[in-house]
Structures are given as structure tokens and as C-alpha cells.
Amino acid sequence: MTITLSKKKLLSAISFLLIMVFWASLFSGGIFAKIGYIKGQIILIALWFISIFFSGQKVKITAISNIIAHSTQVFLLFVFFLINLFYWLLGRGDNMAYGSLVKSLILAVLYITILVQLKNNIQNYRLATIIIIVIYALISIYTIPILFFNPFIARLYEFGKDEIPWFGSWSFFLPIGMAMPCFIATSLKESGFFKFFLLASCFIISIMVILSTFAASILLLIMGVLGLYYQTVKNKSKFVMGIGAILFFIVLFLSLLDISELPQIEHMFYKIPAIFNTSAGIDENDPRIRITLIEVSLNTFIHNPLFGVGLFEAKSDGNNLIGFHSGIIDGLAQYGLFGIIWYFGFLILCFKRLLHSVKFDTNYLINQARLISFILFFIALLGNPVLIESTFCSLVFILVFSPVINNKIVKTKLVVIREK
């Protein structure tokens, strides 16, 4: 009996390890660059499925019941995949149509694996988040010196074939800034030296995001940290005092070290205000501002409201049809209402479940952090073309959309209900 149990535990550990590597291959694109993204991911999913299949009847029944409990979301994701399949087969687009087809399938598979591994399992959720923090911290240690000594490499570097796109991919830094509330909240649930280690890792990761000079990533990072800090402070006047203290030390730090002339800092002072600029020319020598590009997609949607214009890359017809600066508006212009409503429906249902989790346990910091990250996700979708970008959405699906609740609170409330 002991041997059987140990085998089941070993298979469970193997399953979790396999799926974590699969998830890492999504939010840290390039891990399988040498053997191919799709090939490596298919192998991992196949091995994971085999490990689940041989983990015992109870594990299989639980996995199936978890998927059935969220069958509506799974159905909506697969319908969205079929929409992308139709667009690709009908030739409504170019290479981007095939890319969107693959990404939509990856997101559907990703969500199913999350349901199997994390549903109502806060221990697995925290472990998964910790592993993600450690992965990003290791990447940060390697990346920070390169970003510091090579200003703007993250914005200008064009990575080659089979090369890990850590320096030239804004979609790598953007989700990190958005996910930081979940990172910090999970770290705070630990204790002792390990808690300090995780918080230090979060700090190192934040430095990497700041040095990337991607304005949207930095703004999401700041808003997320401030939002989480606001939730942890019961006396809101202390929140204001804390913000004042942080600003004081930042000014003191800048005055003592005079880093204002660093290229990264100078570039941030230029890029961050540019996000809020609402007017600009559109000739070749005057870069179009975000709001102008969003208007391009909005006009396209207005003229093609039901089925959109298809999925085109910016280098082809999409240059004049899609602005590629707002995932939500771009999605409406590309798919039309009929095509995109399935994915929007999935997002809305996940948001409703997230709100339920927060209301069910108002004092659980991780759920509050997940809600903050979802708000940041929505903000990012308004101003960035990341609606179904797997490197971006993978962290959202894992950290925000995981249907987890605090099991201790559930048991306590069930006891109270029975007593009544």
C-alpha cells in the first residue's frame, strides 16, 4: 500500500513538473527555440496527459470534474479556436491568421491544464507562483547587466532565429509588470528567510522591468505595487504617508547619486508622458501616437462591425486597417463582433468568478492581488496589442484566472452554514 501511494505521489510530482515546464515555455518564449516551440510543447502536453492518465482513478475523476465545472469557459475558448480556423481556411488574413490559430489553441490547452492542476488547490497555486518568481529572478540576474550597459537594447534589439527574445520583446516585460501583485502577495504568505528571498526576487525582477524602458510595463508595475500596498494598509492615511516616504527616498536617492543623466532614465522621462499624448502627425518622419493608431482600428471596426477584416500583419494590408496598439479595439476590427464575442465572453466569465472569490474571502490577499492584476490586464488590453499573445496571456491565465479559493475559509463557512 505504501509503494502504491509513493508511486502516485511521484506521478503527481512529475505531472506538476511537466506542466510547469510547459507554462514556462509560454511566458518565457525561447526555451524550446532549438527544437521548435510547437514540437516541444506537444511533447510536454503528451507526457503530462500520460502522467495524469496513470495517476489513479481518483485523479482522473477529479480532473474531468474540474473541466466539467468550467465547461462553459472551455467551450468558449474552443469556439474561438474554430473562429480562427475558419478565418485561416477562408484566407481572411495572411501569416498572422495562422499565428492566431496556433495561439488560440495554446490558450485553450493552457486553460484546461490550469483547471486540472490548480482548481481549488491553493497549495499548488502558491507553488506554481513561487516557481515562476524564481524563473524570472534567474532571468533577471542574467538580463539586468546587459540592459544597464546596453541602453535601449530591449527596444531596438532584433533577435535572430532560434534566439531567446528576452531583449527585443516588449511582450516579455509587459506581463511581468502586470503580474507583480500576485508575485508579492504570494511571497508575503511565506515566512522567515524564504519570504525575504522571494521578496528580494520580486525586487530584482522589478529592476529588470524598469531597465527595459518599456513605459507601459513600468506603469503597470507601479500601479500594481501601489494597488496591493493600498489593500494591505487598513489605515488609509498610512497609505498616503507611505507613498510620501517612498517618494522622499526616491528623490533623495536621485539627488545623491545623480542618475538622472543615465540613458535609461532620460528615455523613460520621454516615453512615459508620450503614452498620454493625444495628438501627433502621421507622416513618416513623425511617429504616430497611440490614440491615432487606435482610431485606425476603431474606424475599421465601425465599417466592418460583424465579421471584421481578417488577421493581417502590420507589414501587409494591416498597416492601413489595424493600428496594433489596442488589443480590444484591434480584436473588434480583426474579428468583428461575431468572431471576438466568444473570447470576450470567456474573459467576462473568468472575471465574474474572480469577483466571487474576492467576495467569498475578502481578507485573502492573494485573491485581492489577482483582482488587481486583472484590472492591469484590462488596462494593458486597452493600450497594447496583446489580446491573445501567449507570452502575455499565459501569466494572466495561470495567476489570475486560476479558479482557486482558500480551502480553510471554505471549510469554515460550510461549518457555519451547517450550524445555522
Across the range 19-34, mean pLDDT stands at 76
Considering the domain boundaries, does residue 410 fall inside one? Answer: no
Mean pLDDT value across residues 376-389: 91
Of 264, 266, 263, 291, give the one whose Cα is nearest residue 277: 291
Q: What is the pLDDT of residues 227-237, one digit of tens each?
A: 998 887 777 67
* Distance from C-alpha of 398 to C-alpha of 223, rounded to nearest angstrom: 20
Q: What pTM, to 2 d.p., does this model score?
A: 0.85
Residue 413: pLDDT band with limits 50, 70, 90: very low
Please report whether residue 400 resides in a domain: no
Q: What mean pLDDT is predicted for residues 91-111?
A: 90
> Of 166, 277, 258, nearest to 212 (Cα)?
166
User: Is residue 45 a part of any domain in this protein?
Assistant: no
User: So what's the pLDDT on residue 246?
Assistant: 72
pLDDT number for residue 345: 97
Residue 216 lies in a domain: yes
* Residue 402 located in a structural domain: no
Is the per-residue pLDDT at 4 higher than 50? no
Angle between the N-to-C axes of helices 170-188 and 215-232, in degrees from 0 to 180, rounded to the nearest 10: 10
More confident residue, 262 or 281: 262
Q: Which residue has the higher pLDDT, 168 or 333?
A: 333
Length of the chain: 420
Say what the pLDDT of residue 411 is: 47
So what's the pLDDT on residue 141?
93
> So what's the pLDDT on residue 53?
87
Domain annotation covers residue 151: yes
Mean pLDDT of 342-346: 97
What does pLDDT average to over the chain? 82
Residue type, 176: I
Cα–Cα dist 49/43, whole Å? 10
Average pLDDT for 111-131: 94
pLDDT at 287 over 90: no
Q: Is the pLDDT of residue 5 over 90?
A: no
* Alpha-carbon distances of 37 from 34, 162, 302, rounded to whole Å: 8, 10, 36
Cβ distance 180 to 206 under 8 Å? yes
- What pLDDT, on a 0 to 100 scale, did the predictor assign at position 109? 95
Establish if 142 belongs to a structural domain.
Answer: yes
Give me the pLDDT at residue 372, please: 96
Span 299-318, average pLDDT: 82
Whether residue 369 is predicted with pLDDT greater than 60 in this model: the reply is yes
Q: What is the pLDDT of residues 258-278, one digit of tens each?
A: 555 566 666 665 565 555 555
Indicate whether 226 belongs to any domain: yes
Pairwise pLDDT comparison (287 vs 373), residue with the higher score: 373
Residue 150: φ, ψ to 5°: -130, 80
Of the ranges 30-34, 77-81, 256-260, the best mean pLDDT one:
77-81
Q: How far from chain centre, in Å, is Cα 372?
A: 12
Domain count, the chain: 1
Mean pLDDT (whole number) for 82-89: 94
User: To which H or E segment does residue 28 belong?
Assistant: none
Specify the DSSP element, H or E, that contains 22. helix 2-27
Question: Structural domain of residue 136, as residue ranges?
Answer: 120-256
Which of 42-51, 66-75, 319-328 has the highest mean predicted lDDT (pLDDT)?
A: 66-75
C-alpha cell at 306: 460583424
Helix, strand, coil in percent for the chain, rounding step 5: 75, 0, 25
Cβ neighbours, 10 Å, residue 304: 18
Which pLDDT does position 66 carry in this prediction?
94
Give 195-239 pLDDT, tens digit per residue: 999 999 999 999 999 888 888 898 899 999 989 988 877 776 766
- Position 322 scores a pLDDT of 84
Angle at 164 between CA 158 and CA 169, to 5 degrees: 50
